[in-house]
Amino acid sequence: MILYIKALGFSEYDSKEKAEDLVTHIIEHPTDRYVTSDNEGKVKIEYYKSYGKDFGLVVRGQLDEKEELLIHTVLPYAKGRYIMDTHEIDIVENTDKHNFSGYCEEQKSGTPVSFFLQNLVDYHDIELEENAYINGVKLTAFAVEGTIILPVEKDEDEENLEIAEQMIREELLNEARDGNEDAIDALEEEALEATKVLRDRLKQEDLLTILDGFFIPVGDDADIYSILGTIKDARKLINRTTREHIWRIKLLCMNMMYDVYINEKDLVGKPTKGMRFKGTSWVHGIIDFEVISE
Predicted local confidence at residue 139, as pLDDT = 96
Q: What is the mean pLDDT of the chain?
A: 84
Whats the size of the chain, residue-wise?
294
Predicted local confidence at residue 241, as pLDDT = 94
> What percentage of residues in the chain have a pLDDT greater than 70?
82
Predicted local confidence at residue 17, as pLDDT = 79
Q: What is the pLDDT of residues 137-153, one digit of tens each?
A: 999 999 999 999 988 77
Strand-strand pairing, 112-117 and 276-291? parallel
Predicted local confidence at residue 283, as pLDDT = 96
Q: What is the pLDDT of residues 41-63, one digit of tens each?
A: 788 889 999 999 899 999 998 88
Q: What is the pLDDT of residues 73-89, one digit of tens each?
A: 899 999 999 999 887 88
Q: What is the pLDDT of residues 159-196, one digit of tens each?
A: 666 666 666 666 656 676 777 777 676 767 776 766 67
Three-state DSSP string of 133-185 = EEEEEEEEEEEEEEEEECCCCCCHHHHHHHHHHHHHHHHHHHHHHCCCHHHHH
Task: Give the residue ranges of DSSP H helices in 178-281.
Answer: 181-202, 207-210
